[in-house]
Amino acid sequence: MAVLTDKTYFNRDSADVGASPFGIFVNQAGYLPRSSKIVAIPFECDSFEVVNEKGEAVFGGKTVSRGFDKDSGDSLRTGDFSQLEESGRYRISAGGKVSAVFEISDKAYNNPLRDMLRAFYFLRCGSGLEEKHAGVYKHAPCHNGTAIFWEDRSVTAEVSGGWHDAGDYGRYVTAGACALAHLFYAHLTFPELEKLEMNIPESGNGTPDILNECRWELEWILKMQREDGGVYHKVTTAMHAPFVMPEEDNEQLWLFAVSSMAVADTAAICALASRIYMPYDKEFSERLYNAALLSYKWLDENPDFVPFSNPEGCNTGGYGEWEDRSNRFWAAAEMFVLTGNEKYHEDFKRLFSESFNRTGLGYGDVGGLASLAYLRFAENADESLKTILKTDFINESKRLKAVADESGYGVAMSEMNYHWGSNMDAMKHGMIFIIADIITGGKEYAPYIQRLADYLMGYNALGISYVTGTGEYRCNYPHLRPAHADGIEECIPGMVSGGPNRTPNDPDAKALVPEGTPPMKCFADDVGCYSLNEITIYWNSPAVFVFAWLFSGLN
């Protein structure tokens, strides 16, 4: 019988990146007692056992063939142990192989969810991270110098604060607004999140910690707004920093041109935040309200699309988009929800017929955020429009369900979803399923949400947890500057890796992932592989939403 140990496996050898020490794949975070529980076994065997800490078999079952799974290249069998509800720590044993340790517990997702939320604290810019909150990952204040406007060097601004966006130290308004929206809607949808104490400097001040952390980013976005309501697209150095600690990145900070996407997203997120913070800080809520009004006025006065692309001499993130219709749609929806003013409702109706994805939940396509606001929170809404939006989410959920049903692993990910940041797609698909179940009052998609959460935590073709700090076999070497520069072997917990990318886009990834590798296996836990293993705030945020659903016991 397999005996549980506390041994932790990291991918330390680049020549063997992606080779799991386990031959059987489970959600390494664990399962709630009454949840669906499926194990993936990528080899021939007829049966499996669940083994407890004493090495005793406590459950046994037959496996079911799922056939050949093209996205993983596996001939897969699965086993269902949903009937096992007793709390404890276990492994799966089958065919002489074992899984990583997992637990069954009402609190199985408490620590992973807390880690994914605290990841935002570890990405704070401006202030230092104190040992009493950050432990060994403490560091000094960073990026507090004056920023200069790239296009007019006589214009300067103090824009400290916010979150480092990704593996680099840039800060980008559209990405930040998207991440905030995921977190705010998680707060509004799952009140149980208020119970999660995050050990951040503001803890205990009477405001839920998720909102305390979000305020750090909001205050920065307010600084990025000009007096006329325009919003600078980003603040970064001219070039990405080398792999140094944030306080050692002392190059000049630059402000970059206003974009209509940044303005619209600022109007939207400030409107959303204004109503959320009203019970906790009326003065801050009013500041956000006025900022939303100001940026919306800029949109009215500037109806044409104002794109963004990096000027010559800058190589930091661009976050360019092809249109701003979904952004303006989101701004109109949030302003209507906040104010009830028919002017914004008319704008929303006018934009409704424009061509964009009304279920999009990413920074480059925020139509789904507008739809979510209108469906769930708009008073005096047009019922015919709500019916269309409900149908949009239901139809997209049905499409994703069909994708999952064709997947050997049961995950709603097609071959095309395995791109740069594929784990964002997995978590956004989980959000769409959750929204569909909420608006229909059912639980039709609960098993599909569970499989996507399982996938992120190790129920995948590599058997790896894509969240640092969770699981025996997990990502530990993300493309994240402080995680490499701090010299600490164990990575900062709670960081969601980008995940498999069927078309690796960087030299290290191309060297480590052989041509012809199945999409679900196109991954390497290596610091150089930014197209596989970077982190970003808007990959963590949809994961928070999905795991908040699990944490709330809605499955």
According to the model, what pLDDT value does residue 2 have?
45
Is pLDDT of 353 > 90? Answer: no
Is pLDDT of 106 > 70? Answer: yes
Distance CA 33, CA 544 (A): 20
Q: Read off the pLDDT of residues 385-434 as tens digits, 9 standing for 90 and up.
A: 999 999 999 999 999 999 999 999 999 999 999 999 999 999 999 999 99
What average pLDDT does the segment 77-85 reach? 98
Confidence of residue 555 (pLDDT cuts 50, 70, 90): low
What average pLDDT does the segment 23-28 reach? 97
Distance CA 434, CA 397 (A): 9
Q: Domain of 214: which CATH number?
A: 1.50.10.10
In a domain, 29, yes or no: no
Q: How far is CA 143 from CA 138, 254, 384, in A?
A: 16, 11, 49
Q: How far is CA 502 from CA 321, 522, 531, in A?
A: 23, 6, 10
In a domain, 387, yes or no: no
The total number of structural domains in the chain stands at 1
Distance CA 370, CA 381 (A): 13
Number of alpha carbons in the 13 Å side-chain half-sphere of residue 81: 30
Is pLDDT of 1 > 90? Answer: no
What average pLDDT does the segment 507-531 reach? 96
Query: Which residues fall within 8 angstroms of residue 326, CB to CB, at 6 or more apart?
Result: 356, 357, 360, 365, 366, 367, 370
In a domain, 187, yes or no: yes
Confidence of residue 58 (pLDDT cuts 50, 70, 90): very high
According to the model, what pLDDT value does residue 20 have?
86
In a domain, 331, yes or no: yes
Is pLDDT of 50 > 80? Answer: yes
Distance CA 491, CA 262 (A): 32
Paired tokens of 518: 């199945």
In a domain, 18, yes or no: no
What average pLDDT does the segment 438-452 reach? 96
Q: Which amino acid, residue 449?
A: I
According to the model, what pLDDT value does residue 15 have?
43
Confidence of residue 361 (pLDDT cuts 50, 70, 90): very high
Distance CA 333, CA 361 (A): 14
Task: Match 């749609």 to its residue by tokens.
Answer: 329
% residues pLDDT > 70 (the chain) = 97
According to the model, what pLDDT value does residue 17 have?
55
In a domain, 288, yes or no: yes
pTM: 0.97
According to the model, what pLDDT value does residue 11 have?
62
**Domain, as residue range, for 331:** 110-381
For the chain, the straight-line distance linking the first and the last C-alpha, in angstroms and rounded, comes to 32
- Picking from 337, 149, 304, 166, the residue whose alpha carbon sits closest to that of residue 231 is 149
Q: Which of 9-18, 76-85, 520-529 has the lowest mean pLDDT?
A: 9-18
Catalytic residue ranges: 168, 479, 525, 534
In a domain, 527, yes or no: no
Distance CA 297, CA 291 (A): 10
What average pLDDT does the segment 528-542 reach? 98
Distance CA 307, CA 326 (A): 13
In a domain, 356, yes or no: yes
